[in-house]
């Protein structure tokens, strides 16, 4: 009996040891399953991280290209500004030349006024009774006044052109300020691109870490699978041994009590395993929270890229508006300079024509003075001849008045055309 009890105790001890081994193997198998689940989850996370890194890298490249395009556009605007400054300097030089020409014309008019005054004094001393010459002198004075008025109008036009040039200069200053703001915005975009590069590097580092963890987990999973195969074989063998042990345990109640205690221990182990499962779930939740944080960062990057695109569109529209205003201002300046040159040419032609008319009038005055002297000498000899000469003189004066009126009309028409 003692030998049988010892044998039964040995068998129970062996069964307990086998049960403990089975429990260890079950724990190892569960750990292997958990590792497999973690591997799958880590692979999914790595895949999503790679996709997000690719998307972020593509957006970073787009931002880099956009910054290069903005730099090219800013360089083009600086070139256009330099061209407009050169055109303004040339227009200012033309304006100064026109002012000098106007001053020369004013001096010539002043000299002609002095010559006319001297001529009036000489004619007043020589001929006091000649009413026609006085009327011609009055007409010439009126013409001189009209020329002075035209000169004043021309000065007003030059003043308006100077004001327009000042306005264009102010517009150029505003465009330069706008270009500086564009440069600042480009610097901001470059800083944001650099921050995006830093984020991309961080994401690549995290991807590298995750890939390393995946490789480690895959290696551990391969070893765990091998262990699982061995454990399954051992489990099968242990099942056979358990069946034999159960057959032997049915012979005694003590063995049943030991089995109850073993079951109790197994329940405790199950509770421990449940706690481990809850910890794994908490780790899973933390990983999900990390994924949510990554998705939020991706959304923020999307928003920043949308803002950059919107600013790009607004900058392009502002560049187009600035270029259109520059072209219109340049065209206006060219047209007005052409008008001024045409007016200067017309004024020179009118002055030449007036000088010719003055020379003709001087010759006519000389001829009239000679005729008057001849008539005074012949007045004593023949009264009838004086009457005939008076009639001829009246006819010539009428013809002269008609010619003067015709000249006045043509001169007024020329001044009107110049103003137009």
Looking at residue 392, its pLDDT comes to: 46
For residue 128, what is the enclosing H or E element? none
pLDDT band at 129 (very low <50, low <70, confident <90, very high): low
Q: Residues 82-108: what's their mean pLDDT?
A: 74
Please give the residue that has the higher pLDDT: either 398 or 274. 274
Count Cβ atoms below 10 Å from residue 133 Cβ, excluding itself.
Answer: 22
Looking at residue 411, its pLDDT comes to: 43
Mean pLDDT of the chain: 68
- Please spell the DSSP secondary structure of 302-326, one letter per residue: HHHHHHHHHHHHHHHHHHHHHHHHH
∠ at Cα 141 (135, 146), nearest 5°?
130
Looking at residue 418, its pLDDT comes to: 40
Asked if residue 385 has pLDDT above 80, the reply is no
Place of tokens 């006085």: 134
246-282 burial code (b ≥16 CB/10 A, e <16): eeebeeeeebeebbeeeeeeeeeeeeeeeeeeeeeee
> pLDDT tens across 14-31, in order?
777 887 888 888 888 788
Answer for the pair 29, 266: CB distance below 8 angstroms, yes or no. no
Round to whole Å and give the CA distance between 352 and 356: 6
Looking at residue 417, its pLDDT comes to: 40
Asked if residue 359 has pLDDT above 80, the reply is yes
> pLDDT tens across 136-193, in order?
556 656 665 666 676 666 667 666 666 766 666 666 666 666 657 666 766 665 666 5
Query: How many structural domains does the chain have?
Result: 1
> pLDDT tens across 240-278, in order?
655 665 565 555 556 555 655 655 665 666 566 566 656
Q: 222: buried, middle or exposed (CB in 10 Å: 19+, 13-18, 0-12)?
A: exposed
For residue 184, the enclosing domain spans 2-419
Round to whole Å and give the CA distance between 339 and 337: 5
């Amino acid at each position: 009996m003692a030998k049988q009890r010892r044998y039964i105790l040995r068998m129970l001890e062996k069964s307990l040891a086998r049960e403990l081994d089975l429990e260890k193997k079950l724990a190892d198998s569960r750990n292997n399953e958990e590792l497999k689940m973690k591997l799958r989850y880590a692979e999914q996370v790595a895949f999503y991280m790679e996709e997000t890194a690719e998307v972020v890298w593509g957006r970073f490249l787009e931002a880099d290209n956009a910054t290069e395009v903005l730099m090219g556009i800013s360089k083009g605007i600086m070139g256009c500004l330099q061209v407009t400054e050169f055109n303004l300097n040339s227009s200012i030089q033309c304006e100064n030349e026109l002012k000098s020409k106007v001053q020369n014309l004013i001096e010539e008019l002043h000299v002609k006024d002095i010559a006319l005054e001297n001529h009036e004094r000489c004619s007043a001393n020589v001929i006091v009774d000649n009413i026609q010459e006085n009327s011609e002198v009055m007409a010439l004075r009126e013409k001189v006044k009209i020329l002075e008025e035209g000169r004043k109008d021309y000065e007003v036009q030059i003043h308006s052109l100077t004001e327009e040039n000042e306005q264009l200069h102010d517009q150029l200053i505003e465009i330069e300020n706008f270009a500086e703001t564009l440069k600042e915005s480009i610097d901001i975009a470059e800083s944001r691109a650099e921050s995006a590069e830093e984020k991309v590097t961080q994401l690549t580092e995290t991807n590298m870490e995750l890939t390393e963890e995946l490789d480690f987990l895959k290696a551990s999973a391969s070893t765990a699978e091998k262990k699982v195969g061995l454990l399954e074989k051992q489990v099968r063998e242990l099942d056979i041994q358990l069946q034999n042990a159960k057959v032997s345990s049915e012979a005694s109640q003590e063995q049943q009590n030991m089995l109850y205690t073993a079951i109790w221990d197994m329940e405790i182990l199950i509770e421990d395993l449940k706690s481990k499962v809850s910890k794994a779930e908490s780790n899973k939740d933390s990983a999900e929270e990390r994924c949510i944080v990554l998705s939020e960062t991706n959304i923020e990057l999307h928003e920043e890229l949308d803002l950059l695109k919107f600013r790009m569109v607004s900058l392009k529209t502002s560049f187009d508006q600035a270029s259109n205003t520059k072209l219109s201002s340049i065209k206006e300046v060219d047209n007005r300079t052409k008008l001024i040159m045409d007016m200067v040419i017309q004024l020179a032609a009118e002055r030449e024509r007036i000088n010719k008319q003055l020379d003709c009038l001087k010759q006519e005055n000389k001829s009239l003075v000679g005729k008057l002297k001849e008539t005074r000498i012949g007045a004593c000899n023949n009264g009838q001849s004086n009457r005939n000469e008076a009639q001829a003189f009246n006819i010539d004066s009428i013809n002269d008045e008609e010619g003067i009126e015709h000249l006045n009309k043509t001169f007024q028409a020329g001044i009107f055309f110049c103003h137009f």
